[in-house]
Amino acid sequence: MATKTETKAAPKTKAAAAPKAKAAAPKAGGATKPNALQQPLKPSAELGAIVGTSPLPRGEVVSKVWDYIKKNNLQNPQNKREILADDKLKKVFGKDKCTMFEMNKHLAAHLKS
């Protein structure tokens, strides 16, 4: 006893068919203000030993720290999420090891605007 049900699609309206509005373009002649990730921040002396002393955006700092970690083979082989700190990273992290999720918290303490 199968019953036949029929579903009708809702009729398309002009609003639904219209293309989505594009994001507003930056105003000509003026620079846009950088967001929090693009804002150059000055690293502390301890962090500067790893990433350099010139102001860098937060994303570049994290990228350079990861490059340092990989270059010096500082990830725990059994748990890649764990970072085993060497002498330079101990000054930044304040302990012998931390997880990759904790790393940003420790880096934030060493960055000033």
23 assigned to some structural domain = no
- What's the CA gap between 51 and 54, in Å, rounded? 9
4-13, 45-54, 58-67, 102-111: segment of lowest average pLDDT? 4-13
DSSP string, 45-77: HHHHHHH-SS-EEHHHHHHHHHHHHHHTT-B-S
Quote the domain boundaries for residue 56.
37-112
1 falls within a domain: no
Task: Give the total number of structural domains in the chain.
Answer: 1
Report the CATH number at residue 77. 1.10.245.10
Residue 60 domain-assigned?
Answer: yes
List, for residues 57-111, the tens digit of each pLDDT value.
998 999 999 999 999 999 999 999 999 999 999 999 999 999 999 999 999 999 8
In a domain, 18, yes or no: no
In a domain, 42, yes or no: yes
